[in-house]
A = this chain, B = another copy of it.
Amino acid sequence: MKICLIGLGAVGQGVLKAIQLKKEAIHERYGLNLKVVAVADSKASVVNENGLDEEEVLNYKKENGSLLNFDCRNNTNNNTNNNTNNNTNTNINNNMSNLNGIELLNTIDYDSLVEATPSNIKTGEPAKSLTLKAFSDKKHVVTSNKGHLALFYLELISSANKNNVEFKFEASVGGAMPIINFPEESLSSANIESIVGILNGTTNYILSRMTSEGSSYENVLDESKQLGIAETDPTMDVEGIDAACKTVILANSVLGINSTYTDVDVTGISKITPESINLAKKEGYLIKLIAEVSSVKLKVGPRLVKKNSPYAIGGTLNMATLKTDLAEDITIIGKGAGSLETASAILTDIINIGKKYKF
């Protein structure tokens, strides 16, 4: 399977690392031969139809901050299967915009697009255009992006279906925690009635620290920024926007509720005081940012949860409880973020496409 990776932030780099670490094992176990034929970041792209050396690209990105001027002749790609072909990298040194991403897709021969550009909750771009372009060219798409899914779910899924290609987005919700494909794969006999969970690791970390330390929201937020757990502008996380996007994705994909971002009732955690946390604690409760998905409610907001319940998990963990008819409550817990962890979900999606389409 020839992979084109667009987006080389934490997730994109994790994907390259994961493919580098696991491609031999994946070939052995599933007979699937993964080849990254193109990688693009926001500045430039690099192409090698015989497969790029993942480590080389990663090292260049780390040393230079972007793929600009990636040196073609440094390529020590060991892929000897295609030695008859012209085994050189082509570096397209330009400012990668939405349009240029599409130009890249027009230029190369690939099977699956791994789209890992930053989530944009206002326009869904460049993810939306790149994804629709890939679909119209009959290519599969795997993504970790939330913006376009939260805004244009139906349009994207319809296009994938119309073109008979796969659209997989396990990594968009819960990072390494399986939640998108899991109900269909592992709970196919049951009807999923609702999902209630903690879908944002940053806010879970902040609330957990406020609870254990008795510190103020502002102090813990500063600490979280220093640790790299919160971003410099933490609005997406602390105001519940990230969790709301994930709520919409689960509503559409797992519960079949046609909805977009504006349908979610969202409250963040920035108004939570140490006093309210202490009061809850005395009564045996914790305050968590809870997302709820059901046919009657799409909601993200702070809620009291019982100690020793599955909702009481701390740190940056994510969790989700699926309420079902036959199987009652099924809860899943996992790391909701992290470069390699999120990449593991993308790689699972890639493998599942590989299995289904017999690559």
A185 CB-CB contact with B under 8 Å: yes
Q: CB distance A186 to B189 under 8 Å?
A: no
User: Which of chain B's residues have a CB closer than 8 A to the CB of A344?
Assistant: 187, 189-190, 324, 326-327
- Known pairs A189-B344, A189-B347, A344-B190; A310 contacts B333 (CB<8 A): yes
With the chains together, A136 CA to B355 CA distance in Å? 28
A204 to chain B, nearest CB (A): 13
- Segment from A80-88, A174-182, A234-242 that makes contact with B: A174-182
As a 0/1 sequence over residues 317 to 328 of chain A, the CB contacts with chain B under 8 angstroms (1 = contact) are 000000011111
The answer on a CB contact under 8 Å between A187 and B348 is: yes
A313 touches B310 (CB 8 A): yes
A351 at interface by CB-CB < 8 Å: yes
**A329: B residues at CB distance < 8 A:** 333-335
A22 to B324, CA, bound (A): 13
- Evaluate contact between A326 and B187: CB separation under 8 angstroms: no
Contacts of A30 in B (CB 8 A): 188
Measured in the bound complex, the distance between the Cα atoms of B351 and A26 in whole Å is 27
Instruction: Kindly state whether residue A314 has any CB partner on chain B within 8 Å.
Output: yes
Least distance between A285 CB and chain B CB atoms (Å): 13
Q: In this complex, what residue of B is CB-closest to A326?
A: B344
On chain B, the residues within 8 Å of A189 by CB distance are 18, 22, 26, 344-345, 347-348, 350-351
In the complex, chain B residues whose CB is within 8 Å of the CB of A331: 331-334
Q: Is the interface of A mostly helix, strand, loop or mixed?
A: mixed
Residue of chain B at shortest CB distance from A18? B326
Residue of B nearest to A177 (CB): B330
Query: What's the least CB distance linking A29 to chain B, in Å?
Result: 8
Q: Which residues of B contact A325 (CB under 8 A)?
A: 21
Report whether B307 and A326 are in contact in the complex, using a CB–CB cutoff of 8 Å: no
Q: Is the CB of B326 within 8 A of A186?
A: no
Type the 1/0 row for A167-200, where 1 means its CB is closer than 8 Å to any CB of B: 0000000001110011001111111000000000
Shortest A180–chain B CB gap in Å is: 9
| Residue in B closest to A14 when the chains form the complex, CB atoms | B326
Residues of B within 8 A of A301 (CB): none
Chain B residues near A308 (CB-CB < 8 A): 307-308, 312-314
Q: In this assembly, does A340 line the interface, its C-beta being within 8 Å of a C-beta of chain B?
A: yes
| Cβ contacts under 8 Å, A326 to chain B | 18, 21-22, 176, 340-341, 343-344, 347
A340–B328 CA distance with the chains assembled, in angstroms: 9
How far does the Cβ of A229 sit from chain B's closest Cβ, in whole Å?
15
**Is B178 a contact of A186 with CB atoms below 8 Å?**
yes
A25 at the interface (CB under 8 A from B): yes
Q: Identify the 3 closest CB pairs spanning chains A and B, nearest first.
A: A189-B347, A326-B344, A178-B186
Contacts A/B (CB < 8 Å), 30 sampled: A18-B326, A22-B326, A26-B189, A30-B188, A176-B327, A178-B187, A181-B186, A182-B185, A185-B185, A185-B186, A187-B344, A187-B348, A188-B355, A189-B344, A189-B351, A307-B307, A307-B308, A308-B308, A308-B314, A310-B310, A310-B313, A326-B340, A326-B347, A328-B334, A328-B335, A328-B341, A331-B332, A331-B333, A331-B334, A333-B333
